[in-house]
């Protein structure tokens, strides 16, 4: 299996966070397939047992944490979302459990100044930030889940990013550059192709330089929060800022939004209603 420095950098940079030091796993304990990434400057700081018989690893590239997996025979190295039987993003769960944590409070001023789209009442004191990709199926389901809360008074500050698919950046740019970004985002979601996991927005090939800069800034900020994918959610409870990487369970939403439970009958959300 050939792993180039650039491939490692892309995989790890997509999972950027604000890390802290931790002890390295001895090289003698690592599967041979991980030799390439350690040569590329990536440190392996922790091993854990993952679902499906996989071995999980916490990687650090400078201050950037990431999760990787190796097969039981040690001959294959895997990156990306590992989804459990219930639909839970296990990579996000492992990041939350094992990876170094960012200092969320220090990032809030940048979050408040980010290029976000307001969904719902812009004057509401019930505010939730979400990092979302226009082609993200779990973002789409989160938007469905949050719709009754928006109706009940929640303000969602949606920070668009574009990285999941080749068309993601162009779609995010098209939405940001539209006359009404909130309306454009909702149109992307209203006609979302769930089978293909494709938002309905038409990507633009040559966005404005300011739009490109905004999306790059949003992506860097998402990474600083330690989110390894979308949706990434930031919310405040009793004056303390919290984060959640992945789609919330129904039972979490009252605490996250500060609003009473809004019962959701959409069958798409059944597996998240715990």
Q: Which tens digit of pLDDT belongs to each residue from 43-58?
A: 899 999 999 999 999 9
What pLDDT is attached to residue 272?
63
Total Cβ atoms within 10 A of residue 11: 20
Q: How confident is the model at residue 264 (pLDDT cuts 50, 70, 90)?
A: confident
List pLDDT tens digits, range 126-148. Answer: 999 999 999 999 999 999 999 99
Which tops the pLDDT comparison, 38 or 207? 207
CA distance 207 to 194: 26
Instruction: State how far the alpha carbon of 259 is from the alpha carbons of 79, 108, 153, 154, 266, in Å.
Output: 36, 22, 8, 8, 19
Q: Identify the CATH homologous superfamily for domain 5-98.
A: Disulphide bond isomerase, DsbC/G, N-terminal (3.10.450.70)
CA distance 204 to 158: 20
What pLDDT is attached to residue 9?
39
Q: Please state the φ and ψ torsions of residue 176, each to the nearest 5 degrees.
A: -65, -35
Pairing of strands 232-237, 240-245: antiparallel
User: In the chain, where are the structural domains located?
Assistant: 5-98, 104-272
Percent of residues, the chain, with pLDDT higher than 90:
64
CA distance 205 to 203: 7
In CATH terms, is domain 104-272 a member of 3.40.30.10?
A: yes
List pLDDT tens digits, range 56-114. Answer: 999 987 667 789 999 999 999 998 889 888 888 899 889 888 888 788 999 999 999 99
């Amino acid at each position: 299996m050939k792993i180039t420095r650039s491939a490692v950098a892309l995989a790890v940079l997509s999972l950027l966070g604000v890390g802290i030091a931790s002890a390295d796993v001895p090289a003698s304990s690592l599967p041979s397939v991980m030799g390439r990434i350690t040569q590329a400057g990536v440190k392996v700081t922790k091993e854990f047992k993952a679902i499906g018989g996989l071995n999980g690893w916490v990687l650090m590239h400078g201050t950037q944490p990431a999760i990787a997996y190796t097969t039981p025979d040690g001959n294959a190295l895997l990156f990306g979302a590992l989804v459990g039987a219930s639909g839970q993003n296990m990579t996000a769960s492992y990041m939350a459990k094992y990876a170094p944590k960012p200092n969320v409070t220090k990032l809030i001023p940048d979050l408040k100044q980010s290029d976000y789209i307001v969904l719902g009442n812009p004057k509401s004191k019930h505010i939730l930030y979400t990092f979302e990709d226009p082609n993200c199926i779990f973002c789409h389901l989160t938007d469905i889940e949050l719709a009754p809360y928006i109706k009940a008074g929640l303000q969602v500050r949606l920070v668009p990013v574009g990285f999941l698919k080749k068309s993601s950046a162009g779609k995010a740019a098209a939405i940001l550059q539209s006359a009404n970004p909130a309306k454009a985002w909702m149109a992307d979601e209203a006609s979302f192709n769930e089978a293909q996991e494709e938002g309905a927005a038409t990507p633009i090939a040559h966005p404005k330089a300011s739009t490109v800069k905004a999306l790059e800034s949003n992506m860097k900020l998402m990474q600083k929060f330690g989110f390894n994918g979308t949706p990434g959610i930031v919310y405040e409870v009793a004056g303390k800022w919290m984060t959640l990487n992945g789609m919330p369970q129904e039972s979490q939403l009252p605490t996250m939004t500060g609003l009473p439970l809004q019962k959701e009958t959409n069958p798409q959300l059944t597996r998240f209603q715990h």
